[in-house]
Structure 1
Amino acid sequence: MARARYKSLVDRFAADIRSGQLTPGTRLPTHRQLALREKMSLVTASRVYAELEAMGLVSGETGRGTFVREISLSADLGIIQQSVAADMLDLNFNYPSLPSQTELLRNALRQLASSGDLEALLRYQPHGGRPHERACVSRYLSNHRLNIAAKNVLLVNGAQHGLAITVMGLLKPGDVVAADALTYPGFKILAEIYGLELVSIPAKDHGPDLDELERLCQRRRIRAIYCMPTLHNPLGWVMKAGQRNRLVELAQKHHLLIIEDAVYAYLAESPPLPLAMLAPETTVYISGFSKNVAPGMRVGAVAAPEKWIPSLERAIRATAWNTPAVMTAIICEWIEDGTVARLEEEKREDARLRQSAARELLAGLDYISHPSSYFIWLPLADEVRADQVVMALQEKLVSVSTAEPFATSKHVPHAIRLALGSLDLPTLRKALATVRHVIKLQTDL
């Protein structure tokens, strides 16, 4: 009978939320108040809210209470790319492109069509890529301060595929992986699908809190750490040399596999050495050509110790067999003729211009960014709720992401991430002005 009462209370709350009688942002009674009002135990009251939270209807926030969520928003809020209205201004995804890139591709296809090697591109490729192309990417990585032999470089279908084969080839379901409290959503999805347990490392001084990482290693049997030491997404930090050395020491002391995501590293000028140079025997370094060249060029690179290459190649075989031969040929040609280096320099300058526009248009808002990154992390004031900001912006045809897709901790901060790389500069300025206007209105309310 008690269970029937508890279930009917859940259903009553759910109906009120879905009908709009309980509006988004409404603070619900505390667990104790609900227990007294409904004449039930505190444990049962807590179970009511837990079930509503599991249904995606409320969110419990430590120190603040339990609030009705904005259920008209996608539950993913940025994890999965969705089609949006043609006039929606996209500050959710980054696909930075320069006006010259279309003509570059047209010319590259013409050149490839007249090459003598075209027939070879129709056949299956070696799982890790053709030797001369692995050597080409090895030379490219050396320009980014990672000196590694071609035999230790594998070509993959973009950086996300690189992360996937690393998880499949080197980790097992149930393994515990440390990751930043705010991290790349694509890795969170991989961890969920593959049955990894993510433990959260808080942020501290432009990098992960390494003291907390050590405490985690002492309490738990952690198998790996996933990190972005150079141009962290979404916080934009570049870890200092001393922080990197300390992280490597901890990894070696506790036998951690380091997964180094360097997909945005090209945007940072003169960063410290990659972790893969400091700990080559324990680090898998993952990069790609989606951000520095174009998302449609599904080519990535995984650099790893020789002992792990066979396992990673098996994972490539199981997932995609080999990298797209035509795209790889074009990327390698662009590496050799300097096109990739030129695009990276132009995009660094493009990102700086966009950050400059953001500083002007978001003046007075306390946000976190790197001066040459394509994203901004914007924490909201205590009284402002992220889901309501996102909904208000959607009504004004601006798409942004909340912190939810990025959070690995139970506590999800009220913040939004702004991706700056998908709109032309005048349109970006318009979108940022709208963001500032909406946040000010929500703060005033």
Structure 2
Amino acid sequence: MTILSLIAKNKPGEGQKYAHLEQLFKTAIRDGVLLPGEKLPPLRTAAWEAKCSLGTMSRVYSSLERKGLVNARVGQGTFVQEAANIGADVILPNPLQSNYVPPLKNDTIIDLGLNAIANDWGEEIIRWALQRTSTKASSFNLMTYRDGFGDNQQKRALRVFLPETLQGISEDRMLINHGAQNGVYTALGRLASPGDTICQEPLSYPGVSAAISQLGLSSLTVETDAMGICPVSFEQHCKKGRVRILVTTATGHNPTCITTPIARRKEIGLIAQKYDVLIIEDDIYGFLYPDAPPPYAEIFPEQAIYLSGLAKRISPSLRIGFTVAPPHLTMLMAQGITAQTWMVSPILTNAAMEIAGRTEDLTSFTRQTTIAAGKRHDLTNRILAPYITNYASCQSHAWIELSETTSTSQLVRRAAKAGVHILDGSRFANNTTAGKHNIRLSIMTPDTIQQLERGLIKLSTVLSNPNESSCDFF
């Protein structure tokens, strides 16, 4: 059987052709109908066989490429990715892959791609918390089963990690999960059904699209501007289709750095109320923005789901996250957690509770991190000012605008040769046009500000000579 015969046998109906076709190609790759290195049919041929528009099939191919399943080669066509290159890097790119370009002169790579937040105290406090858990936690806490809804004592202890305006919520509005990504997946899986449409920003953290695809849901993108989601565009989508959920990062948006002001949040929330659309807000960077407007879950408590976690605040290894939502929704999500993993790891939960008890240290740690973010933000602007957009709200990362004549993929490779790992903006794209002339920098990843400065200076040289080889400069 070929992919064309598979399409002919499983033609999409009149509904969501894009989602159906994408799943068909993914299944064909998984089952070996399409083999590693095999060339996909030309777009026109595939569209004709599927009885869909060329634009729909083009969107399918672009989505498969963003997910790392295929590789488009200029002038040659689109090919199934080799098996060794299909993996977790669909979401989290791996700079050590075989197709990665090593830096010149054996320099150590300066990683501005992985979106982590370096700190000097994360490892120490995790070791301390695990040791305390091993010696102080009761047998009842460590050696028993619980359901996904969690324990009220744990929730009360961990509320310290929520924004101050949400710390007074009742326990039935809070849920502990395995990190913000797990919260996104659980919320989408339990609160949306096949046929529902998920509304996203044109650019977002790739984990959201991965969850939508894994769950077989449909998605569309809403227009954005310098203040975030455009209310007119959002309402138009709500009027047209079965929009069930809007997913957004309203504070410190990844990758664009936009923080949506309070007036705009109220506009979006009122539209969501009018059309009964749930808002899922990922606030993983919120602790870096103490002056940000309140989250949707505070302004519209019956319409919004708040998600956060400790991956950025303390360490990616501490897979503990938090959900705030109306009680009936936290109960549904608790059922999802029980179905997936039965419960959140008691060891990690107890370790997080130990850390939560160090309130003075947490305040000090957060202040240190925000001060460091401010210094790195100023340094980045000083070196790369002509290229940065949304400078005023940049904290954990930076969004770089390139000219339309600059090849983003080639720039990424030239930066790699110079010893700097950066990410192509198209990795964050939820449609075919977003992020084509951008790169994202994770300015909090290097261990020291001196390492960041070296990387930014190298990148500045590459950016100022976009059509030259970095070999000429390093």
Q: State the TM-score, normalizing by the size of structure 2.
A: 0.76
In structure 2, the partner of 1:27 is none
CA separation in 1, counterparts of 2:130 and 2:410? 46
2:461 to 421, 434, 437: 437
1:405 to 412, 419, 427: 427
Matched to 2:251, the amino acid is T
TM alignment of 1:408-427, pairs within 5 A: 408-412=430-434, 413-424=436-447, 425-427=449-451
Describe the shift of the 1:138–1:52 C-alpha distance in structure 2 as closer, same or farther (beyond 3 A): closer
TM alignment of 1:133-144, pairs within 5 A: 133-141=154-162, 143-144=164-165
In structure 2, the partner of 1:376 is 398
Q: Please list the CA deviations of residues 404-443 of structure 1 after superposition, one character each: whole Å capped at 9, or x if unmatched.
A: 2211122132110001122121111111112111122215
2:263 to 226, 242, 246: 242
TM alignment of 1:88-237, pairs within 5 A: 88-115=109-136, 117-118=138-139, 120-141=141-162, 143-145=164-166, 147-237=168-258
CA separation in 1, counterparts of 2:404 and 2:325? 44
Is the 2:381–2:391 Cα contact (8 Å) retained in structure 1?
Answer: no
* Offset of residue 167 of structure 1: 0.9
Is the 2:198–2:217 Cα contact (8 Å) retained in structure 1?
Answer: yes
Matched to 2:380, the amino acid is A
Aligned pair count? 398
Gaps of 5+ in 1: 4-17, 19-30, 32-45, 60-65
In structure 2, the partner of 1:385 is 407
Matched to 1:234, the amino acid is P
CA separation in 2, counterparts of 1:67 and 1:143? 55
Matched to 2:418, the amino acid is K
CA separation in 2, counterparts of 1:125 and 1:95? 31
Bigger Rg, structure 1 or 2: 1
Matched to 1:388, the amino acid is Q
CA separation in 2, counterparts of 1:363 and 1:230? 22
* Offset of residue 371 of structure 1: 4.8
CA separation in 2, counterparts of 1:263 and 1:304? 16
SS in 2 for 1:114: helix
* Offset of residue 367 of structure 1: 3.1
Matched to 1:241, the amino acid is I
In structure 2, the partner of 1:360 is 382
- Out of 118-127 and 411-420, give the one that drifted further: 118-127
In structure 1, the partner of 2:91 is 79
* Offset of residue 309 of structure 1: 2.5
Is the 1:389–1:442 Cα contact (8 Å) retained in structure 2?
Answer: yes
* Offset of residue 176 of structure 1: 0.7
1:57 to 63, 72, 78: 72
Describe the shift of the 1:437–1:83 C-alpha distance in structure 2 as closer, same or farther (beyond 3 A): closer
The root-mean-square deviation of aligned C-alpha atoms, in Å, is: 3.2
2:284 to 248, 263, 269: 263
* Offset of residue 164 of structure 1: 1.0
CA separation in 1, counterparts of 2:418 and 2:358? 44
Is the 2:177–2:183 Cα contact (8 Å) retained in structure 1?
Answer: yes
Describe the shift of the 1:151–1:322 C-alpha distance in structure 2 as closer, same or farther (beyond 3 A): same
SS in 1 for 2:322: strand
CA separation in 2, counterparts of 1:106 and 1:394? 34
* Offset of residue 203 of structure 1: 1.8
* Offset of residue 152 of structure 1: 1.4
Matched to 2:400, the amino acid is L
CA separation in 2, counterparts of 1:401 and 1:378? 10
CA separation in 2, counterparts of 1:392 and 1:280? 47
Describe the shift of the 1:376–1:67 C-alpha distance in structure 2 as closer, same or farther (beyond 3 A): farther
CA separation in 2, counterparts of 1:383 and 1:130? 56
CA separation in 1, counterparts of 2:166 and 2:325? 15
* Offset of residue 128 of structure 1: 2.4
Give aligned-pair identity as a percent: 22
Gaps of 5+ in 2: 5-36, 38-42, 44-53, 65-69, 97-101, 470-474
- Out of 312-321 and 397-406, give the one that drifted further: 397-406
